[in-house]
């Protein structure tokens, strides 16, 4: 398997215009603030949340579509061509997908507050169209790719298959709000969540980790055989989880969690291999957040195991979703984003005669420290509020999350400002 660092050779030729990935990242920061703000307004509904319309459902989709998916789209557009050594066939559809999904997410979230069918249908149509454009671009790149990083491509194909499933289920759920034709809306809602969190975002996170983590720590390539075992275990676990909900089968649910544990342990072992062989030892706050996210992944899986066995955790299903979506995925992506934004800015400000600026020159540490503290406080208090059914804990956690999101937006704004300043100096 090729070393991830080798993909940097000639990577500048596959760089997109800087405005493309950064528009996704910057907008995700705005949605990050909105998600915590809306959750703060609907804090009393979070502990017993079961997928019904209202402020919590709106906040959930501002977070998943507005933060997680937008970040994943911006990263995928730039990183997948680097990993596959194959540039995107066209650049303009990336802009089209952005202008479809951003207003679509706002309309969809607005419609979820009070079940406004017009906003829901228009928003869902725009979001679906934006994600279809994204899916076609990614599928075309994977199809044309040379076999430089097949493990990343395999994760990408599963993520695209999951995207098809979550879009279909999402549209069915929206149609059911006006037609009420589903016999078990909660089952479809839970399946939609699992496919989105594990099948789409989870597989993208696992897949890109095979490139990003070794690249950022300057390590050797990850062991190929173990990487494929991790991929296979994760893919089967997702299939079992979906089957468990469709057939309401406890044994399949337990098997899915056990396989998810196995895939996660192998994944952690692979990441440990990267750290052991790393040439860069001082990894900074971003890797504190990344490692913390892996802890929340395990906490989420343990909670999922307890829920599958009906062990009586108060509001266990809500806690499981919170730990996976906010604890694992949001923490992981903010950790990666605070690395990747300065990294891409550095690559874009390298002149033909010069040396790339140091990442430290493009990073603002103080806002990131504020975000990290506030984010951890938000996770602890919101999770405690869910279990204890305490609105005050949830409100305090959401307020801390809001403060952290504002601090993270300040960091992103400073990176963009420094990028523009460095670019002006080169022209």
Q: What is the pLDDT of residue 176?
A: 86
H-only helix segments in 85-149: 92-114, 117-144
**How big, in percent rounded to 5, are the helix, strand and coil portions of the chain?**
80, 0, 20
What pLDDT is recorded for position 69?
96
| 245 token code pair | 């909900």
Q: Which pLDDT score, from 0 to 100, does residue 282 have?
A: 79
pLDDT of residue 426: 46
**Domains, in order of start, for the chain:** 11-426 (1.20.210.10)
Helix (H) or strand (E) holding 61: helix 55-63
Return phi, psi of residue 390, to 5°. Answer: -110, 110
Six token digits for residue 69? 């998916």
115 φ/ψ sector (left φ>0, alpha ψ -120 to 50, else beta): left
**Beta carbons within 8 Å of 174's beta carbon, 6+ residues apart:** 120, 121, 124
What's residue 212's pLDDT?
87
In this structure, is the dihedral angle defined by the CA atoms of residues 347, 349, 354 and 355, taken in order, positive or negative? negative
What pLDDT is recorded for position 82? 75
Q: Model pTM?
A: 0.93
CA distance readout (Å), 321 to 223, 325, 371, 388, 401: 31, 6, 22, 16, 17
> What is the model's pLDDT at position 298?
97
User: Within a 10 A sphere around the Cβ of 9, how many other Cβ atoms?
Assistant: 9
pLDDT of 427: 44
Tokens of 43: 């804090």
The residues of the chain scoring below 50 in pLDDT are: 1-5, 8-10, 351-353, 426-427
Instruction: Supply the pLDDT for residue 278.
Output: 85
- Contact between 279 and 218 under an 8 Å Cβ cutoff? The reply is yes
Distance CA 211, CA 24 (A): 20
Q: Tell me the two tokens of residue 317.
A: 């299903």
Rounded to an integer, what distance in angstroms lies between the CA atom of residue 422 and that of residue 305? Answer: 50
Q: What pLDDT score was predicted for residue 249? A: 92
The pLDDT assigned to 360 comes to 60
């Amino acid at each position: 398997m090729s070393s991830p660092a080798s993909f940097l050779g000639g990577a500048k030729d596959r760089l997109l215009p800087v405005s493309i990935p950064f528009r996704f990242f910057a907008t995700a920061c705005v949605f990050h603030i909105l998600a915590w703000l809306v959750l703060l307004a609907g804090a009393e509904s979070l502990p017993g949340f079961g997928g019904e319309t209202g402020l919590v459902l709106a906040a959930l989709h501002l977070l998943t579509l507005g933060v997680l998916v937008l970040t994943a789209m911006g990263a995928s557009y730039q990183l997948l061509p680097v990993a596959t050594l194959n540039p995107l066939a066209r650049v303009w559809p990336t802009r089209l997908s952005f202008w479809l999904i951003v207003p679509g997410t706002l309309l969809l979230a607005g419609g979820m507050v009070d079940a406004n069918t017009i906003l829901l249908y228009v928003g869902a149509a725009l979001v679906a169209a934006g994600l279809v454009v994204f899916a076609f671009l990614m599928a075309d790149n994977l199809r044309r790719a040379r076999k430089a990083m097949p493990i990343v491509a395999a994760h990408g194909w599963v993520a695209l298959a999951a995207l098809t499933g979550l879009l279909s289920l999402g549209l069915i759920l929206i149609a059911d709000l006006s037609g009420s034709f589903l016999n078990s809306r909660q089952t479809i809602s839970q399946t939609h969540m699992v496919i989105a969190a594990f099948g789409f975002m989870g597989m993208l996170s696992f897949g890109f980790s095979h490139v990003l983590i070794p690249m950022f720590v300057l390590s050797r390539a990850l062991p190929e055989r173990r990487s494929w075992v991790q991929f296979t275990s994760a893919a089967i676990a997702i299939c079992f989880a979906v089957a468990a909900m469709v057939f309401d089968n406890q044994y399949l649910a337990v098997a899915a969690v056990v396989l998810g544990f196995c895939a996660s342990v192998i994944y952690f072992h692979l990441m440990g291999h990267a750290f052991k062989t790393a040439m860069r030892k001082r990894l900074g706050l971003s890797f504190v957040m990344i490692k913390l996210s892996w802890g929340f992944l395990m906490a989420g899986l343990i909670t999922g195991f307890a829920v599958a066995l009906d062990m009586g955790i108060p509001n266990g299903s809500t806690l499981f979703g919170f730990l996976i979506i906010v604890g694992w995925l949001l923490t992981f992506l903010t950790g990666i984003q605070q690395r990747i934004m300065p990294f891409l800015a550095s690559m874009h400000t390298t002149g033909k005669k010069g040396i790339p600026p140091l990442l430290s020159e493009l990073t603002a540490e103080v806002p990131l420290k504020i975000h990290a503290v506030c984010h951890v406080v938000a996770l602890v208090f919101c999770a405690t509020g869910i279990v204890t059914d305490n609105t005050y804990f949830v409100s305090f956690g959401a307020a801390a999350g809001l403060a952290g999101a504002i601090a993270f937006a300040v960091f992103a704004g400073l990176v963009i400002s420094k990028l523009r300043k460095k670019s002006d100096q080169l022209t």
